[in-house]
Structure 1
Amino acid sequence: MSSKRPLQPLNDVQLNKANIQSPTTVKTPIKGAISKPDAGKKKKREKLSSLCKTPPSIVKNRHGRGYRRGHFLGEGGFARCFQMKDDTGRTFAAKTVAKASIKNEKTKTKLLSEIKIHKSMSHPNIVEFIDCFEDDVNVYILLEICPHQSLMELLKTRKIITEAEARFFMVQVIGAVKYLHRRKVVHRDLKLGNIFFDPHMNLKIGDFGLATIINSAHPRRYTICGTPNYIAPEVLGGKDVGHGFEVDIWAIGIMLYAMLFGKPPFQSKDVQVIYERIKNNDYKFPPDSLVSLEARQLIRDMLSTDPYQRPSMDQVLEYDWFKCGSFPSHITTESLKQKPKNLAFITKEESMINFANCKQQVGINDVPKHPVEILRTDLESERPRTLLPHSLSPDNTKNKYKEVSPVNIKPYKSKISNQLSKASYDNKMVYMLSESLSETLENIKLIETGQLQPDPKLVQKPQLVSKWVDYSNKHGFAYQLSTNSIGVLFTEGHTVLKFQDRSDIFLIHPNEETGWKVDHFQREQIPKDLSNEMQVIEFFDKYMTAHLSDVSSGEKHDQNGGVFLRRYTRDDNGIMFELSNGSYQFNFKDHHKIVLSEYGHYITHITPNKEIETLPLDYVLKNGNFFETPDDYFTVKYNFMKHVLREKISI
């Protein structure tokens, strides 16, 4: 650890506050760790992380981009972590592996597999992979920094957590693990110390050092690996048994037990005792604990010795435990120190809504992802003097290993939404869109200066985009309006719109003369060349009805065939919808939604609990917020919305 060069401190993240294991973490990464102790004095194994040299004060990647080294954050069995900051001020965690520890081809292959697997992941509850590069002595894996530590540190402080918090945490972990399993990846080292909190207190799975791929070529794995308290019994069987995806389900059960009862169920100071208890399923629930019977039943089933008797990820979420108590809409930093105060005030109805929203946010019902593959070219260095092959480097422009995500996040200050880029986007269409924006912005300006007062008697709740699925990498963007209308904005630029309980459809497509042209077809008149579109819209109709929750709390409006989604834009703050009736809907990442309707005359707020308040804009501006449903960040969001609309006009 020592170095002649002093550390260059960065003040925004403190020591041991990021997404790394604590220095005391014990891992069992190789078979030898499960051997019986020798009769004589046991030779202490060299800790490979000790070979890692402190990085220089500035580390540069292969493109010359510099990262300034900050605090030492901690270490695991193989690596040390340091804080890194780039020239823009963004802070990252750098997992640093000493090249001296990579002593053979097997170790090298393992590291490259970790990089390949982690690099291919894109999920809100998995630590984001940023970059990987090397210098003469170390390999650096640059990751999203998680400043609120891990579940392990939370449990050390709190001892136990509430069942309400555990429900929320479990859904986020299950969403991420289901994503891994759909991509044929088994993590194999899920534990409290590898589940980190991002700045918004959402959980992120990290450390893919033991992750592997399960496919037809390798249906089972036989390496004995993991962390003692979390190892599944079939892993201990080694080559005689083999293991698969079920080991992750076992580990989630261990984590749930630890969160609710304060320690893992098989814990002992002697590792061999832990293994014997695991093999015999020898654990008990503390008799004085108030943990519910529903939670205990879920734990029992997840900790079944027979891996095929454990519930699947989807089956876990069907257990009564998720529905028999409070489920918060989000977790705050209060949970890091104490039991949150607001849990007792969550109603059953709110809990069911929060549970459904949480499942949607973590992608429980998303379409299957392409499986991860490790190709020979991933593991072969193209240049003898370097460790990282070119195919895993950041300048790989072919993107042949990068998953094509259905979520294409685009900055607001960008070209017109990609969903219309293939259409004939001519001057008339641009004029129609900018004319609507101009009228909205002009009205907002007049209302802010007191020159225009909307009539409160005319206020109506606007039509909303109540459900949506972004599948633009294949078909298009599907949405449901609060009228129950279902539409798909296809990647070619046209829209098909249909109503519930009606057989006719509307075909809306760009037109050089009118901007938008609408064709109306009865069911028996639908052209054959629209048959594919009809299949797609029927699929999304059934999918959204079955799987997605409605933002508008079930309130429906009169049907209006003239309203459709003209375009949408996504960025890191959320998503913006532009409707054909002059409404602009902003769905923010904190699950609040704000709509400017009637060309800026009225404003609507939809809370995460689906409370809706619509008022004349001048009422809200005079009050500085909404009346019945105030938003703590209303002023920031309102100014942001105006900025976005102005940017749209300037494009």
Structure 2
Amino acid sequence: MSGKPLQALNSVQINAKSNGIIHTPAKAAVSKPEIHHHRRKQKLSSLCKTPPSVVRTRNGRGYHRGMFLGEGGFARCFQMKDESGKIYAAKTVAKASIKNEKTKTKLLSEIKIHKSMSHPNIVKFVDCFEDDVNVYILLEICPNHSLMDLLKSRKFVSEPEVRFFMTQIIGAVRYLHGRMVVHRDLKLGNVFFDPEMNLKIGDFGLATVLNPPYNKRYTICGTPNYIAPEVLGGKKTGHSYEVDIWAIGIMMYAMLFGKPPFQAKDVQVIYERIKRNEYRFPSDSSVSEQAVDLINMLLKHNPKSRPSLDDILQHPWFTSGPFPSRITTDSLKGTPSNFSMLTREESLINFENTKNHAGIGHDPTVPVEILTSDLHSERPKTLLPHSLSPDNNKSKYREIISPMGGNGNVNVKPYKSKLSSELNRVTYESKMVQLLNESLSRTLTNLKQIEDGTTANNVHNIDQVETPVLVSKWVDYSNKHGFAYQLTTGSIGVLFNSGYTVLKNPEYTKVCIIEPVVERGWDVHSMQPNDVPPFMERNVEIVDFFQKYMNAHLSDVANGADEDAPEAVFLRRYTRDDNYIMFEMSNGSYQFNFKDHHKYVLSQYGEYITHVSPAKKIETLPLEYVISQGNFLQYKDEYFDVKYEFLKHALREKIAM
């Protein structure tokens, strides 16, 4: 086939019929792989009717249908051109193919997952809408075809190119896994080239969100050549994130050697080879031994023996040869000739830059959340609930980093109906700021007196100090719910955008609801889980969700938990800055997590200071002792004096806001 990229359509071409099937990235994007049996089933995509020449969304926006791009097992894909002339790929699913609630839920889950993604190496979700006969998923169009098209045209892909491609793929998959999503259909045909020849993973039709603590799925699904052995085990084994690691190994093998390692004409033969892990490397290949070694690691039969995504990038193969700074459209025609001119130093720099652009080293803080309520249609005759359609993706998924998180999407009734009016809300927020400022002022006054030696307190015994309650894990999900955190007591809390906090103790035998009130700022209501008011049950469910996510994906900032600490310590406010995140606690503590992984806590309104080293070593001392000595006793920070000045500046800045 031709390696020529797709061209923008003019007004005549936009409604012209295509001349046969067009092999574009969008064709693979709509494929829904199945486990093939001897008896072939009719493709559900055949039920999909050609959209009208102009498809109108619910808000009146019009999209002009363009060329037919291709079809998979469940959907067909067409070019769509908006009123400004921009072209998209529209994955089109026939409503007639959605025959039951299970199929509907599966489609809505795909939309929900894909819609929440924002990564430079994942196909961008644009919108979803429907008419009387079809559901449309509008995606960015990738005009330079897929990795499968590249391989068909070239027969083999060079190691420098594969290094670049693998790094971008791993960056995208690392992002998915960090958000509790397993793709389950990674293959060359589902990885596309954007106009700049960067790779984009698409087709989330088989993607799933894993729920701790089991983190397994049991459905047999995927494309035969790419299926991991544990998937074929079905309910006997279950599968998890490692299936995507296996698929990365299959793709690497296919690019370097021209075809997947277990390929055969008979699907059952493929499955038997996968089960026996029966594959070999061509003896006449010039592929490096290091590449072969990495593939062998990725294709370990036991999923627990496969390397992690970060471990893959540590393999010496990535730094053993040329690594290009970018891939150009020349690769669509043949192997570029300039790779051999790259020096080792240039290659190492290119590798680091590519990792950085792929988000490697930046951990996602927001998991994907699929709740049953998200998948229920709000109107019986409409397939898509309004929350998934249309046109509101940007506002829903941008990160909000204001201290109170702005107005969220969680509708929480006031516990005692004291914030039901806007006047009461303004009064409460004014009272809250007043209380926070009083705490800040008290702390700053103590710091000044300690520094001047005028404090009225007795000299503290450095051997009799208690470590304060720390925020040990956190997830900023203020674009939807609020700020979730775990304390070193083991308690899990969420500061909701509404101002409420729900805090559960480690054994989950008690729930604290911290209610914003006008007179006092906050009231704490402690109760048994069965006594939670009905209108707060949704919030408790969200706390449970974050608890599972943090236990599965985040590590503690400090070792150990202070189980004897008071239960009713909670987060009052947080502030995110380019250099730190600051937590203001209800007991007068201020915690600062710096970007260099040092953490400091001023506790008891500044009388004590705690240092948590990057190695998670904790030392708490009276502030007067640390100031007199110029540093901590056991776990020193060479920049303590700079950090201490930073803490004071941050406190003063907050009180001045």
What secondary structure is seen at the aligned counterpart in 2 of 1:234? helix
Aligned residues of 2:65 and 2:81 also touching (Cα < 8 A): yes
Match of 1:57 in 2: 53
C-alpha separation in 1, matches of 2:44 and 2:182 = 24
Q: What is the deviation of 1:488?
A: 7.7
C-alpha separation in 2, matches of 1:524 and 1:228 = 56
2:154 equivalent to 1:158 = yes
Partner of residue 252 from structure 1, selected from 248, 254, 264: 248
Match of 1:320 in 2: 316
Q: What is the deviation of 1:385?
A: 1.1
1:472–1:361 distance in 2 versus 1, CA, 3 Å: farther
C-alpha separation in 2, matches of 1:230 and 1:524 = 51
1:152–1:245 distance in 2 versus 1, CA, 3 Å: same
5+ residue gaps, structure 2, are 1-10, 402-476, 480-573, 583-591, 597-639
One-letter identity of the residue aligned with 1:155: L
Match of 1:103 in 2: 99
One-letter identity of the residue aligned with 1:53: K
1:467-478 to 2 correspondence within 5 Å? Answer: 478=578
One-letter identity of the residue aligned with 2:14: L
Match of 1:294 in 2: 290
2:399 equivalent to 1:404 = yes
Match of 2:195 in 1: 199
What secondary structure is seen at the aligned counterpart in 2 of 1:365? coil
One-letter identity of the residue aligned with 2:13: P
Provide, for residues 552-577 of structure 1, a one-character-per-residue CA deviation record: whole Å limited to 9, x for no partner: xxxxxxxxxxxxxxxxxxxxxxxxxx
C-alpha separation in 2, matches of 1:143 and 1:98 = 17
Aligned residues of 1:277 and 1:283 also touching (Cα < 8 A): yes
1:321–1:229 distance in 2 versus 1, CA, 3 Å: same
Match of 1:148 in 2: 144
1:372–1:291 distance in 2 versus 1, CA, 3 Å: same
1:156–1:524 distance in 2 versus 1, CA, 3 Å: closer
Partner of residue 357 from structure 2, selected from 355, 361, 383: 361
Match of 2:14 in 1: 10
One-letter identity of the residue aligned with 1:130: V
1:117-128 to 2 correspondence within 5 Å? Answer: 117-128=113-124
Partner of residue 26 from structure 2, selected from 20, 30, 34: 20
Q: What is the deviation of 1:9?
A: 2.7
C-alpha separation in 1, matches of 2:97 and 2:644 = 70
Aligned residues of 1:166 and 1:260 also touching (Cα < 8 A): yes
One-letter identity of the residue aligned with 1:50: S
Q: What is the deviation of 1:231?
A: 0.1
Partner of residue 208 from structure 1, selected from 165, 180, 204: 204
C-alpha separation in 2, matches of 1:477 and 1:164 = 38
C-alpha separation in 2, matches of 1:204 and 1:247 = 19
Q: What is the deviation of 1:376?
A: 1.8
One-letter identity of the residue aligned with 2:377: S
1:32-431 to 2 correspondence within 5 Å? Answer: 33=35, 37=38, 42=39, 44-216=40-212, 219-394=215-390, 402=397, 404=399
Aligned residues of 2:25 and 2:145 also touching (Cα < 8 A): yes
Aligned residues of 1:185 and 1:372 also touching (Cα < 8 A): yes
Aligned residues of 2:16 and 2:66 also touching (Cα < 8 A): no
Aligned residues of 1:122 and 1:405 also touching (Cα < 8 A): no
Aligned residues of 2:225 and 2:263 also touching (Cα < 8 A): yes
Q: What is the deviation of 1:370?
A: 1.2
Provide, for residues 16-71 of structure 1, a one-character-per-residue CA deviation record: whole Å limited to 9, x for no partner: 36432359x97543xxx365x4xxxx4x3111011100000000111110000000
1:561-640 to 2 correspondence within 5 Å? Answer: none
C-alpha separation in 2, matches of 1:156 and 1:239 = 36
Higher mean alpha-carbon deviation, 44-53 vs 237-246, is at 44-53
Q: What is the deviation of 1:229?
A: 0.1
Higher mean alpha-carbon deviation, 384-393 vs 235-244, is at 384-393
1:344–1:239 distance in 2 versus 1, CA, 3 Å: same
Match of 1:584 in 2: none
One-letter identity of the residue aligned with 1:376: T
What secondary structure is seen at the aligned counterpart in 2 of 1:70? strand
Match of 2:645 in 1: 526
Aligned residues of 1:19 and 1:93 also touching (Cα < 8 A): no
Q: What is the deviation of 1:12?
A: 12
1:475–1:260 distance in 2 versus 1, CA, 3 Å: farther
C-alpha separation in 2, matches of 1:152 and 1:381 = 37
One-letter identity of the residue aligned with 2:22: N
What secondary structure is seen at the aligned counterpart in 2 of 1:209? coil
1:135–1:527 distance in 2 versus 1, CA, 3 Å: closer
C-alpha separation in 1, matches of 2:387 and 2:135 = 16
C-alpha separation in 1, matches of 2:77 and 2:147 = 18
Higher mean alpha-carbon deviation, 245-254 vs 214-223, is at 214-223
What secondary structure is seen at the aligned counterpart in 2 of 1:291? coil
5+ residue gaps, structure 1, are 1-6, 407-470, 479-486, 491-495, 501-520, 535-651
1:13–1:232 distance in 2 versus 1, CA, 3 Å: farther
1:530–1:93 distance in 2 versus 1, CA, 3 Å: same
C-alpha separation in 1, matches of 2:166 and 2:250 = 12
C-alpha separation in 2, matches of 1:136 and 1:106 = 20
Aligned residues of 1:26 and 1:227 also touching (Cα < 8 A): no
C-alpha separation in 2, matches of 1:91 and 1:76 = 21
Aligned residues of 2:31 and 2:75 also touching (Cα < 8 A): no
Q: What is the deviation of 1:368?
A: 2.8
Aligned residues of 1:16 and 1:22 also touching (Cα < 8 A): no
One-letter identity of the residue aligned with 2:66: G
TM norm structure 1: 0.60
Aligned residues of 1:116 and 1:392 also touching (Cα < 8 A): yes
1:27–1:272 distance in 2 versus 1, CA, 3 Å: farther
Aligned residues of 2:16 and 2:67 also touching (Cα < 8 A): no
C-alpha separation in 1, matches of 2:225 and 2:644 = 64
One-letter identity of the residue aligned with 1:287: S
C-alpha separation in 1, matches of 2:644 and 2:213 = 50
Aligned length: 423
1:26–1:86 distance in 2 versus 1, CA, 3 Å: closer
What secondary structure is seen at the aligned counterpart in 2 of 1:526? helix
1:388–1:527 distance in 2 versus 1, CA, 3 Å: closer
C-alpha separation in 1, matches of 2:296 and 2:23 = 33
Aligned residues of 1:92 and 1:145 also touching (Cα < 8 A): yes
C-alpha separation in 1, matches of 2:109 and 2:257 = 35
Match of 2:608 in 1: none
Q: What is the deviation of 1:215?
A: 1.8
